[in-house]
Chain A
Amino acid sequence: MNIAITGLNNVDNPGPGVPVIRGIKDSPKFDGNIIGLMYDSLEPGAYLKDVTDRNYLIPYPAGGLEPFFERIKYINSKEKIDVIIPTLDAELYAFIKLESRLNQLGIKTFLPTLEHLNFRGKDKLSSYCESNDIIAPRSILINSVKDLHQIPSELSFPVAIKGIFYDAHIAHNIEEARTHFNNISSKWGLPIIAQEFIKGEEYNVVVLGDGNGGSIGTVPMKKLFITDKGKAWAGVTIKDEILLDISDKIISSLSWKGGAELEFVKEKESNKFYLLEINPRFPAWVYLAVGAGQNLPYALFELALGKEVDKFEDYEVGKIFIRYSWDLITDIKKFEQITVQGELDNG
């Protein structure tokens, strides 16, 4: 079995590729090779021989679907890929668009539909929550600097200014909102979302939807340490029945297929959970779920192969992850291989 996985970047905003691979490799049932797909020649997961067996550079999907598909076709001709697991938000659209063509090459996937991907988009989350009776912060779409002037009448400061794919900053006034708008829109495009700021503690949930409204597994986590980018650098598994029910309801209402991360804030006064985001892939902390007893990455791999997968009934509460960075020392020849040939064999 050859599994190709993206998201091997592991900087201060780490990709989920390495933890997804760790989960798959932890399964005693797994016997195969991991093929790393990388967008940049310095993605750390590609240099870790315990993580990836062979690695290939791929072009950004934004550069066109055809060159992206042709590159995967070439990699497939060398590796005979059985399953591809994309792990980054920005590439999902391309993989979904190419799903049937990948299947024709014999490459299996387990992805949400385009319709469901769009439903949970940051620009549509508010209306999705309203029609499904899920509490979410009020938000408005900002398509131009002029639209920023709607903020004081629709919401009250502070507000969160968020990019369509990534990035979020708190703005305390219209000037700060304008600065964040300019910075985020130049990186990630439009629209920008201005969202009511909810004060409280952050809880995230990793889920795996079976595509028929059921959840194969669900593990909630409270962030214990948050970086200035809002990323959890430590967290603990918790059990809150209300949070689990809301999570099941979301997966069921979307008939979600694949991994996802649900981001919540528990409002300080009311103790109610507000849904902030639905990220359409496993989070970088997914290995905590593996450690707590739910190997969701391996379950997704089996679902992609068309196998029946039993629902996980429980997980261990009070499991903690603490993330750390670690310097890998390697030879420049490896960097040369990737940059010149676009390939790196870790064998």
Chain B
Amino acid sequence: MDKYKVSSNLAISENGFLFFPSTGDSFTLNEIGSSIVGLLKSKKSKSEIIEAIVEEYDIDENSAERDVTDFITQLINFNLAEEL
């Protein structure tokens, strides 16, 4: 339960505007959300993403794990990502 796949045609702009072409849904992500989607798109595992977030932002590992898990769950609920 560490690997996820985001839809290949998911488009995300530099401003964090995310558009899903097959449903027409759009979302606005903050900087960390954009980073996580970018990392998922480059096929990073959840633990690698947590590691990257801890390194990049001033946050402890437990909080990073909780927030990343919560965010990925939301992506799955919106059909934007799936567990591999």
Contacts and interface: CB of A to CB of B under 8 A. Distances in A.
A318 interface: yes
B23 A240 contact: yes
A152 B22 CA distance: 36
Nearest to B24: A222
Nearest to A317: B21
B79 A271 contact: yes
Interface string A10-43: 0000000000000000000000000000000000
B23 A238 contact: yes
B79 A238 contact: no
A138 B65 CA distance: 46
Interface string B26-51: 10000000000000000000000000
Chain A residues touching B, range: 10 to 19
Nearest to A203: B24
Contacts of A221: 24
Contacts of A222: 23-25
Contact of A239 (B22, B25, B26, B79): B22
A135 interface: no
A243 to B, nearest CB: 8
A318 B79 contact: no
A170 interface: no
B11 interface: yes
Contact of B19 (A203, A240, A271, A318): A318
Interface string A239-262: 111000000000000000000000
Contacts of B22: 238-241
Identify the 10 closest CB pairs spanning chains A and B, nearest first: A222-B24, A238-B24, A240-B22, A317-B21, A236-B24, A239-B21, A238-B21, A318-B19, A239-B22, A238-B22
